[in-house]
């Protein structure tokens, strides 16, 4: 699926405020093309060709590569496709590939994995390394308000009920709303110094962040993470130079 987009600058500024980025920059954040592509991603997943149930899909990881600065006033051609399915020890995982082109040149791409949980018979898949991971140095303690999911949903158009209200979250098995994974990534990236226009961001979502809630933001070098009470790991990530 392909579509052309021109960035709505007012909506971009609202997104930047919700995520903690500075507003008014010439270039948009590395996470914003994901927001532009989100309606297309939903349509791809909701099509009859997509073999997994959309309700209940868990976003498990993201990898975004920015090959140059992304001008906020540019017109982008964005494409979304499902690269394939893979067996996972907790179900089946789908990989969704998104590409953004500016004047025909690939400037941004991402790979996102989504897990459909179901019973398996010893299917392979990466095991969590949470117990083995040494926490990064704490930088700040963040208190997330209960309306973060609604505010981010308004600017990203991701209004999944699990992020909005206690009542709607309970319908899907959550006692309270949980933060959008991509919002937590963006919030962390907003704290890191800008390190060139060509970069790759990788992040894994380990456990949901309940709203309202308090987390510890930790970072060292090119790595970052969010931890909750009892050192529970919610998110891990890193920023690297983009491959040539």
Give residue-wise pLDDT tens across range 185-199: 999 999 998 767 899
Look at residue 155 in the predicted model and tell me its pLDDT.
Answer: 96
Query: 76 forms bridges with which residues in the sheet?
Result: 5, 102
Look at residue 99 in the predicted model and tell me its pLDDT.
Answer: 98
Query: 93 forms bridges with which residues in the sheet?
Result: 86, 115
Look at residue 201 in the predicted model and tell me its pLDDT.
Answer: 98
Domain housing 189:
2-241
Look at residue 119 in the predicted model and tell me its pLDDT.
Answer: 75
Look at residue 133 in the predicted model and tell me its pLDDT.
Answer: 76
The CATH number given to whatever domain includes residue 75 is 3.10.129.10
Residue 171's nearest CA partner among 156, 186, 161, 158 is 161
**109: CB partners within 8 A, 6+ apart:** 64, 65, 67, 97, 98, 99, 100
Look at residue 132 in the predicted model and tell me its pLDDT.
Answer: 63
How many independent structural domains does the chain possess? 1
Query: 96 forms bridges with which residues in the sheet?
Result: 82, 112
3-state secondary structure of 175: coil
**Within the chain, which residues score under 70 in pLDDT?**
122-132, 195
User: What does pTM read for this prediction?
Assistant: 0.91
pLDDT tens digits, residue range 88-142?
888 899 999 999 999 999 999 999 999 988 777 764 555 555 556 789 999 999 9
């Amino acid at each position: 699926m392909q579509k052309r987009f021109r960035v709505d600058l007012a909506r971009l500024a609202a997104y930047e405020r919700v995520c903690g980025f500075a507003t008014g920059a010439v270039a948009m954040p590395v996470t914003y093309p994901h927001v532009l592509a989100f309606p297309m991603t939903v349509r791809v997943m909701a099509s009859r060709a997509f073999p997994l149930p959309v309700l209940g899909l868990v976003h498990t990881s993201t990898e975004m590569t920015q090959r140059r600065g992304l001008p906020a006033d540019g017109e982008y051609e964005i494409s979304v496709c499902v690269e394939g399915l893979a067996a996972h020890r907790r179900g089946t995982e789908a990989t969704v590939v998104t590409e953004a082109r500016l004047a025909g040149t690939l400037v941004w791409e991402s790979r996102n994995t989504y897990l459909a949980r179901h019973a398996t018979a010893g299917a392979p898949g990466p095991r969590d390394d949470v117990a083995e991971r040494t926490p990064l140095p704490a930088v700040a303690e963040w208190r997330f308000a209960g309306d973060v999911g609604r505010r981010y949903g308004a600017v990203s158009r991701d209004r999944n009920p699990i992020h909005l209200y206690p009542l709607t979250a309970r319908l899907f098995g959550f006692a309270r709303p949980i933060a959008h994974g991509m919002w937590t990534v963006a919030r962390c990236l907003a704290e890191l110094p800008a390190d060139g226009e060509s970069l790759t961001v990788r992040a894994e979502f380990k456990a949901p962040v309940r709203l309202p809630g308090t987390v510890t933001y930790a970072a060292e070098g090119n790595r970052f993470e969010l931890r909750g009470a009892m050192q529970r790991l919610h998110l891990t990530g890193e920023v690297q130079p983009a491959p040539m």
